[in-house]
Amino acid sequence: MAFDPTIRIIKTTDQDGLPWEDIPTEPGDPNEPGAEVVSFRSGDGAFSFGLWRRVPETGPMEPPYHEIAVLIEGEVELIEEDGTTHRAGPGDVIVTPQGPNSEGGPSSAPADGPTTDNHLHTNPYPNVGAPGQPNECEAANEKYLAGQNVIGNVPGNQGTNHDQTKRDLNQ
């Protein structure tokens, strides 16, 4: 969605006429997919506003961003890790801070689940076939190892495939 500087009023009674999009769920997630519609996004993409709806669900909630929600209908119960329970109903505002180990900000530990696609993969010094290194080009050739944290060189030889840099393309 491109930046739109016009003033808009979004009425809760007009929800059904909005361009709702399905929110996919991760494989193995027992919760049903929800739906959302983005009504505004800032020009730099740092802020957006929209509507979100879904059936009741359970499970961890660690958004990769700060989230503010106004509950239009229904009720919600949020239980923190320490057991603190919060209940909200129509008209209540829910403020959910960014998750502590999300990819959107600083973390206290490497990403380590709970899903198989949320694991740290970093290789600050990939093998590039330089003197003293194996004959392989790891840069951008590493395979993603689902469900594993990988720090450093990926096990095995990644081959020597690489993109050719040509002076005429590098202007």
Secondary structure string (H, E, C) spanning the chain? CCCCCCCCCCCHHHHHHCCCEEECCCCCCCCCCEEEEEEEECCCCCCEEEEEECCCCCCCCCCCCCEEEECCCCCEEEECCCCCEEEECCCCEEEECCCCCCCCCCCCCCCECCCCCCECEECCCCCCCCCCCCCCCCCCCCCCCCCCCEECCCCCCCCCCCCCCCHHHCC
Residue 60 lies in a domain: yes
CATH code, domain carrying 83: 2.60.120
Residue 101 lies in a domain: no
Domain extent, residue 66, equals 12-96
Q: Are residues 87 and 22 in the same domain?
A: yes
Q: Are residues 115 and 91 in the same domain?
A: no
Q: Are residues 90 and 115 in the same domain?
A: no
Which domain-ending residue is among 96, 131, 155? 96
User: pLDDT (tens digit, 9 = 90+) per residue, 31-83?
Assistant: 788 888 888 877 777 777 888 887 777 776 666 677 888 888 888 888 877 88
Q: Are residues 92 and 115 in the same domain?
A: no
Residue 137 lies in a domain: yes
Tell me what the mean pLDDT of segment 11-20 comes to: 78
Q: Is the pLDDT of residue 126 over 80?
A: yes
Tally the domains of the chain. 2
Confidence class of residue 109 from pLDDT cuts 50, 70 and 90? Answer: low
Q: Are residues 57 and 82 in the same domain?
A: yes
In whole numbers, what is the pLDDT of the chain averaged over residues?
A: 76
